[in-house]
């Protein structure tokens, strides 16, 4: 009987301890995913598979000067917030006539006022761009910057296109970058 009471008491204490967990609020820069085709999951019911997926965190402008403080011109930026942004190609792709093999890469940018250099790098799973090493770059492309039609509050990545031709759009503040890809 004493054993049963002791077990019951331990169970109650254990449940009370677990029930006291406090969940933190929403991350200031929540994680998001962008697929091509847009709004995709890895495999659709019709059997079509995704061609590319980007996993990134979405920092907010919050009345801050983005390209002076958060993603300074001329410096390697993690293309988002928190952990470095990762791009997964489910099949080989071509960007500006340059081939990139199917696989997962970190995605960085060197933003400038008129153009951005996008960097696909083989290093994965680390925070920010603090450990970025140019020697591990797999592909670099330079893309022009356009003026966004309105201010983009949260850094955003989205895909558009059809069939084997898609465009990855990157936007923040008043900058809009288009990266055409073929698969």
The reported pLDDT for the residue numbered 130 is 85
pLDDT in tens, the chain (183 residues): 556 554 455 455 555 555 588 888 878 888 899 999 987 665 666 667 899 999 999 999 999 999 998 999 999 999 999 999 999 999 999 999 999 999 999 999 999 999 999 999 999 988 888 889 999 999 999 999 999 999 999 999 999 998 999 999 999 999 999 999 999
The reported pLDDT for the residue numbered 14 is 56
The reported pLDDT for the residue numbered 80 is 94
pTM over 0.95: no
Other Cβ atoms closer than 10 A to 64? 11
Q: Domain locations in the chain?
A: 30-182
Q: Please state, in angstroms and rounded to a whole number, the distance separating the CA atoms of residues 27 and 57.
A: 9
Q: Which alpha helices (DSSP H) does 20-88 contain, by range? A: none
Other Cβ atoms closer than 10 A to 18? 8
The reported pLDDT for the residue numbered 6 is 47
């Amino acid at each position: 009987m004493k054993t049963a009471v002791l077990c019951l008491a331990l169970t109650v204490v254990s449940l009370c301890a677990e029930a006291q967990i406090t969940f933190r609020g929403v991350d200031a820069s929540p994680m998001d995913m962008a697929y091509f085709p847009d709004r995709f999951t890895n495999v659709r019911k019709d059997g079509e598979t995704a061609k590319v997926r980007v996993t990134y965190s979405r920092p907010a402008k919050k009345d801050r000067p983005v390209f002076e403080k958060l993603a300074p011109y001329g410096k390697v930026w993690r293309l988002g917030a928190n952990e470095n942004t990762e791009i997964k190609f489910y099949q080989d792709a071509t960007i500006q006539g340059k081939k990139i093999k199917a696989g997962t890469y970190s995605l960085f940018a060197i933003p400038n006022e008129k153009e951005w250099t996008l960097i696909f790098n083989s290093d994965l799973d680390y925070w920010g761009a603090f450990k970025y090493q140019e020697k591990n770059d797999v592909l670099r492309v330079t893309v022009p910057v356009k003026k966004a039609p309105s201010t983009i509050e949260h850094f955003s990545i989205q895909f558009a296109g059809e069939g084997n031709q898609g465009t990855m759009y990157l936007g923040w503040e008043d900058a809009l970058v288009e990266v055409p890809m073929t698969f």
